[in-house]
Structure 1
Amino acid sequence: MASRSLDAGVGAQALPADWRDFLALTKPRVLSLVVYTGLCGLLAAPGHIHPVLGFAAILCIALGAGAAAALNQWYEADLDAKMRRTAGRPLPAGRMERQSALHFGVGLGVFSVLLMGLATNVLAAIVLAVSILFYVLVYTVWLKRRTPQNIVIGGAAGAFPAVIGWAAVTGEINLLPALLFALVFLWTPPHSWALGLYIKSDYAAAGVPMMPVVAGQKATRLQVLLYTLPMVAAAIAPWPLGLTGAIHGVTSVILSAVFLALSARVAFSTQTDQALMKPERILFRYSILYLFLLFGALVADRVILA
Structure 2
Amino acid sequence: MGLEQAWYKRSSWLCVLRPLELLFRWLAARRRQRYREGLQASWRAPVPVIVVGNISVGGTGKSPLVIWLIEHLRQRGFKPGVISRGYRAKPPTTPYFVTSASTAAQAGDEPLMIVRRTSVALVISPDRVAAAQLLLEQTDCDLIISDDGLQHYALERSIEIAVIDGVRGFGNRRCLPEGPLREPVSRLREVDLIVVNGASPGTVLDAEYTGKAFSMTLQPGCLVSLASGNALTADQWRSSRNVNAVAAIGNPARFSDTLTALGFNPRLHRFPDHHHYSANELSFDDSLSLIMTEKDAVKCDHIALDNAWYLQVDAVLEEGFATSLQQLLGDWLAADKRAK
Q: TM-score, normalised by structure 1?
A: 0.24
Higher strand share: 2
More helix by proportion, 1 or 2? 1
> TM-score of the superposition, structure 2-length normalised?
0.23
